[in-house]
Structure 1
Amino acid sequence: MNKILLLSTLTSAALFAVAPVVKPAQERTFSQSQFMPDMSAIVDFSYVNHSISDADLQHLSIPGVTEGFYGSHDHGGNSESTYNANNGFNLNYVELVLSSNVDPYFSVDAVFHFSPEGVEVEEGYFTTTALENGFRIRGGKLLSEFGRINQQHHHFWDFGNAPLVNEAFFGTQGINELGMQLQWVAPTPMYLMLGAEALQGTNEAMFGNAQISDPNSPDPEDPTILGEEITAPSLFVGYVKSSFDVGSTTILPGLSLAQGSSRLDHFEDAEHANAFAGDSSVYGADLTVKHFFNSYSFLSWQSEWIMRNMDGTGYHNDAGTLQGSPLEKEQAGYYAQLVYAYDQNWRFGVRYDSIYLNDLTLDGISQTVVDPEAANPVSTSEDFDRYSVMSEYHLSEFSRIRLEYNHNTALYSEDGDRQNLDTVMLQFNLSIGAHAAHDF
């Protein structure tokens, strides 16, 4: 009922409260030239040296938080791997972008993601362009504007991989869903935007709405279903964002909330056959501060804090016996990065990532270790950290070369042994064609 009411509210806002006003023909900006969309292609290529072999990386995880952090993960027919995953050369992606006005009332953007694992529509959405009173509606497949970095494409990031907490909670692609988005910019002296999103809820790392079948069901054609059936959309996001200037410094704070159902099916995993059925809530706060020394030189601080609560039933399939117990997770982490642009060409940056909270409650009992059956059980009080430093050179606005070093202490083997990972990467990012400007 709550979902029906929320969707009804969004629909009403779209149809009535923010209905477009048809302007006189002389005031419309539509032109014949807009029939030809802007097109661009972006290539991201890297050479990577990990201190751990690719085969061993496949079996590392962040205990209690995420499994198989490196390598390709395939659940429910979708496959993805983290960027810069393999030793040696990596073609992270070729990104094809199309964008154009449709008419005076809509624009369309499409982003196609080509990688060695296949081709996918990363984004494909329409945006209203004629709504008044500060409203905007967007629909299709899109990156949620939860937090700061989730809405940004990889080539806009200041480092080669997503922050530890973002990738652990939301996966490599982040919250990238089918759905509708409604935003309103308030008529205030400083920028103030409120947004709401109703999303399908298929994110495999955190949410998911596919049915989970008992792997031991006697009739595979009519299996026992674990957890209640979910009706999409099952993920709802809200946020408030602001921006204001203090002299030559711009400050951008934000607060975000996401709530949805979780159906995480890992019964096909060889090492840890498990599943989770329940509900999840995610809370976020972000802050970006950018001080300009001149047109090209600036110092930028960016940070996000994210906490998630997962409440439901955890399932384990041990030797053909399915066991289910009430499971609660309260986990939190953050990142903070500082980037200095010396001039039009050179940039230098440092970043610290941490997942500092990993509280697990199984069957009503608070757990002191993540997996008691491991050879060396990992304490739930352990911090998972990563340290990064980078230097990049922009030959032009279309080409960038980045040298980056990461020291990752967040990964553990199946036996519970910490595996410190040192990574050096040389990354090339090049673009051709007309590409729309990024948000500040």
Structure 2
Amino acid sequence: MQKTFISLPLFYALLFADAATILPVEKRTFEQSKFIPDISLILDASYVTRNKTDDEIAHYEIPGVAHGIMGAHAHDGNSHATYNAYNGFNLNYGELVLSSSVDPYFTLDGTFHFSENGVEIEEAYFTSTALPYGLRLRGGKLLSNFGRLNSQHHHYWDFGDMPLIYQAFLGDHGINEKGVQLQWVAPTETYLMFGGEVLQGENEMMFGTASIADPTATDPDAAPLAESADAPALFVAYAKTAVDIGETTVMPGISYARGTSRLDHFEDETPHAFSGMSSLYGADLTVKHYFDSYSFLTWQSEWMMRDMKGTQYAQPDANTTTSASLRKEQAGYYTQLVYAYNMNWRAGVRYDNIYQNDVTKNDVLQDMEDGFERISAMVEYHPSEFSRFRLQYNHNTALYNEDGQRQSVDTIMLQANIAIGAHAAHDF
């Protein structure tokens, strides 16, 4: 048998050469460029001035609803800061996004938030691309499709902060969980989608699974106040549709979430904890009318009601832990109007109201304040699709100080959002 010899330099050239440069076109099966993910980096920074100091803001709360929703606060031994938390300059985050097709069956997306306190995986999930019958499967860490705003990243919001109902009921990150999501798009003439999610259940404002230890117990083997819950412990379902009427699109939706609540705030300024079950109901409506390719008017509204039922634990002093049955029935909404004059200029107004705050302790309805309101206005300039500058004003009368006095907080924010690289398109 005749042998063929090649020189050593030619051998290495063949070994390390790109297959696309050697094989005939019809036999090429791999192109490196197709496997390099889309990469983008988004910087979000702001300058904030308020009529209240940072120390004052950190102690404000919405009575019976939430605390620590403005400024920085401590939780689980860590310091948490909301967006635009401090007077002066804020580096809210640097967001690194990676996105790519895996194969004919899946795509993979990752969103990483870099802040001065560290790095957080905001989202990292796979998405199916080849399931039949209008089905789509997603798994990993993801933003739930509950409601309208929850699935949107911060840089896509029309305002620099979340609506009050989101901040008070779910926190600035909303429902952002590990789990799986299954959606089905019905074979109808108009868009109709049904979805369900099974999630771990680790939202610090409403859901949780970890056991709650008694902070006054001296025996390290003492039974906890509340046993841990089996995970996954949060279940979400929703239905969404969209109808086109001429140049106007109407997008209504309904959502429901139910899960176990294990909320341990014994390390907070006012030590307390809650163990029980919680439900969250939501309805949203978005109406978008286009005047031309770049000019449009959008009206967006969401309503939420939460029902939390279980046991509240309190620590009136260092040696005592008390308990009481507790039920919270709280509801609110936001409504906003945004007008895009052209591709460069937009302006909008928003109104928030948490109008229901029914708290029942040991079967006795408590005398609680309600009617927590905030009014916001903004104008923003887009030099291009990769940059945005927003000036926003908030008048907030929803917060109370430690003496139970309603406060009036006025905030002016100048926000800059700059992006580089390839970024996937957002939902309509």
> What is the TM-score with the length of structure 1 in the denominator?
0.89
Q: Does 1:295 align with 2:293?
A: yes
In the TM superposition, residue 321 of structure 1 has moved relative to its aligned partner by 1.0
In the TM superposition, residue 244 of structure 1 has moved relative to its aligned partner by 1.1
3-state SS, counterpart of residue 225 of structure 1 = coil
State how far apart, in whole Å, the 2-side matches of 1:244 and 1:129 are: 25
Q: Which moved more, 1:204-213 or 1:281-290?
A: 204-213
State how far apart, in whole Å, the 2-side matches of 1:191 and 1:163 are: 27
**Contact 1:291/1:300 (8 A) holds in 2:** yes
**Contact 1:134/1:185 (8 A) holds in 2:** yes
In the TM superposition, residue 283 of structure 1 has moved relative to its aligned partner by 0.2
Q: Does 1:192 align with 2:192?
A: yes
3-state SS, counterpart of residue 406 of structure 2 = coil
Alignment match, 2:92: 92
**Contact 1:254/1:285 (8 A) holds in 2:** yes
3-state SS, counterpart of residue 240 of structure 1 = strand
- Partner AA of 1:85 in structure 2: A
3-state SS, counterpart of residue 210 of structure 1 = coil
In the TM superposition, residue 76 of structure 1 has moved relative to its aligned partner by 3.3
Largest Rg, 1 or 2: 2
Q: 1:16-415 counterparts in 2 under 5 A? A: 32-76=32-76, 79-219=79-219, 221-270=220-269, 272-319=270-317, 320-369=319-368, 379=369, 382-415=370-403
Cα offsets for 1:221-243 (capped at 9, x unmatched): 32331224301100000000001
Alignment match, 1:23: none
Q: Unaligned 5+ residue runs, structure 2?
A: 1-25
**Contact 1:388/1:405 (8 A) holds in 2:** yes
> What is the TM-score with the length of structure 2 in the denominator?
0.91
State how far apart, in whole Å, the 2-side matches of 1:114 and 1:97 are: 11
In the TM superposition, residue 407 of structure 1 has moved relative to its aligned partner by 0.1
**Contact 2:304/2:331 (8 A) holds in 1:** yes
**Contact 1:241/1:253 (8 A) holds in 2:** yes
Alignment match, 2:414: 426
**Contact 1:30/1:104 (8 A) holds in 2:** no
**Contact 2:75/2:268 (8 A) holds in 1:** no
State how far apart, in whole Å, the 1-side matches of 2:283 and 2:355 are: 16
In the TM superposition, residue 77 of structure 1 has moved relative to its aligned partner by 5.5
State how far apart, in whole Å, the 1-side matches of 2:342 and 2:206 are: 40
State how far apart, in whole Å, the 1-side matches of 2:78 and 2:355 are: 30
- Partner AA of 1:282 in structure 2: L
How many residues align? The count is 400
State how far apart, in whole Å, the 2-side matches of 1:121 and 1:290 are: 32
**What root-mean-square deviation, in Å, do the aligned CA atoms of Structure 1 and Structure 2 show?**
1.4
3-state SS, counterpart of residue 33 of structure 2 = helix
3-state SS, counterpart of residue 335 of structure 2 = strand
- Partner AA of 1:283 in structure 2: Y
**Contact 1:125/1:142 (8 A) holds in 2:** yes
**Contact 1:81/1:172 (8 A) holds in 2:** no
Structure 1 runs, 4 residues or longer, greater than 4 Å off: 29-32
In the TM superposition, residue 345 of structure 1 has moved relative to its aligned partner by 0.5
Q: Does 1:436 align with 2:424?
A: yes
Q: Unaligned 5+ residue runs, structure 1?
A: 1-25, 370-378
Alignment match, 1:14: none
State how far apart, in whole Å, the 1-side matches of 2:177 and 2:79 are: 15
3-state SS, counterpart of residue 66 of structure 2 = coil
State how far apart, in whole Å, the 2-side matches of 1:435 and 1:368 are: 49
